[in-house]
Structure 1
């Protein structure tokens, strides 16, 4: 629960600090500008609010790791993926997008702090504890923080603790560990296909390289 709060607060602060002109720069999400990514975060924050307000009466079906599914690379056919750039452009000014994310994002953060960790919630047709749901989002927030700053070299990076937790989660999803020589950031970027591994990294990965990228859905 603490890692969720840390990763989310760091991401919201990073977005707030992005200069307006940098909203037109590419993000680390292929095909999305920074403004598109921020718009996606608004929808993610809404999902957190909806899920925490959707109690479940059955036993958990997934946990923080099995919540994530490995899916194929994006095809461009997902209606929501296509909607995001149009919706982001409709905001017109970055300050409006920042305001909406701060408004909804702050509410999502408060809801997370108030949630009963053992309470059962439902989302995507699955049931899990609030603690597992919020823990799963540490990986999401950390990856998107890296996406946000991909072409913003002076922007603040994700906290070390959330980078380590996100790496550990990705390794559990993969069922294998990245080489110890990989930094947490390199493991996350190469592991999810946000950066192609160098020849040296491929050699260190060995047979594990054939399983990459790990595309989560």
Structure 2
């Protein structure tokens, strides 16, 4: 469902809206029995994955409502003046772009308190319709906020400061990876769009390899995203297609 941004609309925000719209449409079409199937997220059922997305869209809403409040700057941005009353010794926010928003993390084990909470919270909904209603309510609000956001406005999240447009771009990776997780768990679910897969691939490679010309990797987008993030093991041919320095560091879970 990828499209060229309308005149005056930021392409990163349009990409966010496309990726989220496709993911929500896929979830909305799920039969109730699909929520009890394993997802592509290790240890999580589809209902757990959908519950995690509720947390994600809350994060989007909170971040868009949290302007950078200290004298921090995003890459290439004009520094923001500190709010009145800001302490002089307050920790400065770390400026990042879309790739810098993500870090390579340890593979999830389910022991992290929030990760462990998700299955219990998902089960508490009982009827999957209540879970999807909540997700639709919050997801729609987050999309409206993102659609109306100034892409150059600096926002704060998790001690980082970045442009709203870069925050939108970062979340294309999140929506696309979890869309692939949904496809893995619910057979017949439409896949992410080619545009979302390509954009997520480009960003993930920047997270892993750093800035500069991306390495040429002859592996389809969906397969590469799954392999790099440890969602599945690479075949011998796929492993040979990876640059050695990337192959040697597998996997690269992001968080």
Q: Is the 8 A contact 2:228 2:252 kept in 1?
A: yes
Query: Does 2:169 match 1:135?
Result: yes
Question: Corresponding residue for 2:48?
Answer: 36
Query: Does 2:140 match 1:106?
Result: yes
TM-score (norm 1): 0.96
Give the drift of 1:203: 2.0
Question: Corresponding residue for 1:80?
Answer: 114
- What stretches of structure 2 of length at least 5 have no aligned partner? 1-12, 75-94
Aligned ranges for residues 183-202 of structure 1 at < 5 Å?
A: 183-202=220-239
Q: Tell me how far apart the structure 1 counterparts of residues 113 and 52 of structure 2 sit (CA, whole Å).
A: 13
Q: 1:59 pairs with 73, 78, 94, which one?
A: 73
Give the drift of 1:76: 2.7
Q: How many equivalent residue pairs?
A: 217
Q: Which has the larger radius of gyration?
A: 2
Q: Tell me how far apart the structure 2 counterparts of residues 56 and 205 of structure 1 sit (CA, whole Å).
A: 38
Q: Calculate the aligned-residue CA RMSD, in Å.
A: 1.2
Q: Is the 8 A contact 1:178 1:187 kept in 2?
A: no
Give 3-state SS (helix, strand or coil) of 2:248's partner.
Answer: helix
Give the drift of 1:153: 2.7
Give the drift of 1:71: 1.1
Greater than 4 Å deviation, 4+ residue runs: 176-179
Give 3-state SS (helix, strand or coil) of 1:29's partner.
Answer: coil
Farther-moved stretch of structure 1 (73-82 vs 190-199)? 73-82
Question: Corresponding residue for 1:16?
Answer: 28
Give 3-state SS (helix, strand or coil) of 2:185's partner.
Answer: coil
TM-score (norm 2): 0.82
Give 3-state SS (helix, strand or coil) of 2:119's partner.
Answer: helix
- What stretches of structure 1 of length at least 5 have no aligned partner? none
